[in-house]
Amino acid sequence: MTLSAQINPFFAARMGRPDVSRAPRRQEPAYARLPRAPINASPVPHLTSLYHNHRAGEYGDRSYPGNCGGNLIKDLLTFFGPAGLACDPMAGSGTFRDVCEELGIPCMSWDIHDGFDACDPEAFTARDTFDFIWAHPAYWRMKLYSDDPRDLSRAPTLSDFLRRYRRFIKNCARALKPGGKLAILMGDYTDREEGFVPLTFHTKRLAFAAGLSQSCTDIIRFSHGASSGRKVYRSSFIPGLHDTCMIFEKPTSKEAL
């Protein structure tokens, strides 16, 4: 903070400096009182619609862009207890694979970095194979992952992203066994050209169109450790501090898919 900004915010504004006298101070962690969860027979009683575990767990590589902590994955796998094969078709640093290994769940995982395009029905050809699929796709171009034009984060327009994302979700739906679960972790974001992009809405829309139904509540995952939390912006906006894990299920009857 400069002395001029401290003393005269109008002068600071004229000089093009942020008026730090009116800006909020760097925030300390805030503690919110959460609603009490009902006692029930869940094997993971702390797994509720609000996921606020700030520990990432020793899974994957925390320095990988877009890495997600493994503890939510561990809780979901413990809750759903898939009987057979699991899969992560956009594996990044392998967080899901590491959790599966710890829990003794057989798992297959790939990424565009291995040359595998999960959006391509000719490449992701599995059918009625997996009991559980974990997907943590690119939030369109919020972060860029590779130079490969098939990378979802390289989709040049929103409609191009949604067209490829639709194919990805359809591939996952086909690859699930009847009764299998697809957990997608996704976040909304504000794009410099498109404005606010409700990617969680699109995820549900596309999953339902692929014949899946929602299996349980959305899980709002608090974004502890997000790099944006350490930045200072000049503009005014309502910060998004969460992403959403949606769990879908493939019908057991043959009619929908």
Count residues binding ligand SAM (CB under 6 A): 26
CB of 122 to ligand SAM, least distance (A): 13
Residue pair 206/183 in contact (Cβ under 8 Å)? The answer is: no
CB 247 within 8 A of CB 182: yes
The DSSP output letter for 113 is: G
Judged by CB under 6 A, the residue of 146, 159, 213, 214 near ligand SAM is 146
Task: Give min distance, CB of 98 to ligand SAM, in A.
Answer: 9
Q: Find out whether 51 and 71 touch, Cβ atoms under 8 Å.
A: no
Identify residues 84-103 at the interface with ligand SAM (CB under 6 A): 89-90, 92-93, 95
Q: Cα Rg for the chain, rounded, in angstroms?
A: 21
Tokens, residue 208? 């339902």
Question: In terms of CB distance, is 17 or 62 closer to ligand SAM?
Answer: 62
The SS3 assignment for 80 reads: helix
Is residue 66 within the footprint of ligand SAM (CB under 6 A)? yes
**Residue in 47, 51, 60, 132 binding ligand SAM, rule: CB under 6 A:** 60
Spatial separation of the C-alpha atoms in residues 191 and 45, rounded to whole Å: 37
We find the least distance from the C-beta atom of residue 164 to ligand SAM, in angstroms, to be 7
CB of 3 to ligand SAM, least distance (A): 43
- Choose which of 17, 19, 20, 113 interacts with ligand SAM (CB under 6 A): 113
Q: Does residue 210 come out as left (phi exceeding 0), alpha (psi in the -120 to 50 range) or beta?
A: alpha
Query: Is 171 an interacting residue with respect to ligand SAM (CB under 6 A)?
Result: no
With a CB cutoff of 8 Å and minimum separation 6, the contacts of 48 are 37, 219
Report the SS3 class of residue 189: strand
Applying CB under 6 A, which of residues 97, 136, 141, 202 lies at the interface with ligand SAM? Answer: 136
Residues within the interface to ligand SAM (CB under 6 A): 60, 64, 66-68, 89-90, 92-93, 95, 111-113, 116-119, 136-138, 145-146, 150-153
